Amino acid sequence: MKKAIRNLMSKLPIDSLANPDPVVAILPLEGVIGSSGRFSNAINLANLEDKIKSAFDVYNVKAVALEVNSPGGSPVQSELIVKRIRELSEEKEVPVYAFAQDVAASGGYMLSLAGDEIYASKASIVGSIGAINAGFGYTGAIEKLGIERRVYAAGDNKSILDPFKPEVEKDVKMMKGLLKEVHDFFKDFVKEARGDKLKGVQKTMFSGLVWNGEEAVKLGLIDGIGDVRSVMKEKLGDDVKFKRIKEEKSFLKGMLGVRNSKASMADEIVKTLETRSEWGRFGL
């Protein structure tokens, strides 16, 4: 084996060994952000940790490119992923560039803040800097069905916002206050990451609105229009190579995936519906 490697190396041009082509590691960040238990194919740090490290460990890597395609989700997981990417970027002294695909909205936009620079297509959907909580009320439904609900709790606020009970003003006020705190956190996160690059009126930028790529450039939410290959070739030269980081599925995972129980299949359907509702907010 060693002899074969030596023979192969001897056939390579000396210049290619001394000056290997620069490599860009492409790290896809696609899907709804949150725990795996809630969403189908969710993005979270636990699922991405190995792939993030692999991106920075690619031989002769000169940059990591994030391909972001996400309608959002958990701000906590978004922050954890961004922090991990920035830690490795500083530790390895490798720059990071983010590229919005169809959507980089809400938590998806937060993910792109891991990049030193952010790019998008003219038709990409960018923004949605806000916080939301959505649900349903079933009080009329259970009355019509003749169902009596029995709830026992310790703690005055343990059953607030129960979907089977009428809304209570103080509970709604509490939820709005919580959402405001999350929104403030999101705004501060954007300000810290983008700094003086932000050009738009903050009341507008942080209103939850979304914009196409060109408008996002004008607001300073992103740095320019472009795709991974064109931007990276412009920065590193035409000889740049691209290495896409893929998830490695073990034999055991494959076996487990095939043998889903009816209960797990039903659970997966619910997750899929939740995931599609998140994408559906942006017409996708």
Angle in degrees, 0-180, between the axes of helices 75-92 and 45-57, rounded to the nearest 10: 20
- d(Cα 221, Cα 215) in Å, to the nearest integer? 9
Burial of 258 (0-12, 13-18, 19+ CB in 10 A): exposed
CA atoms within 13 A on the CB side of 56: 19
Output the six-digit token pair for 246: 């893929």
Which positions are annotated as active-site residues?
A: 106, 158
Cα separation, 81 vs 89, in Å, equals: 12
Look at the alpha carbons of 94, 97, 103, 106 in this order and tell me if their dihedral is positive or negative: positive
How many whole angstroms separate alpha carbon 126 and alpha carbon 224?
12
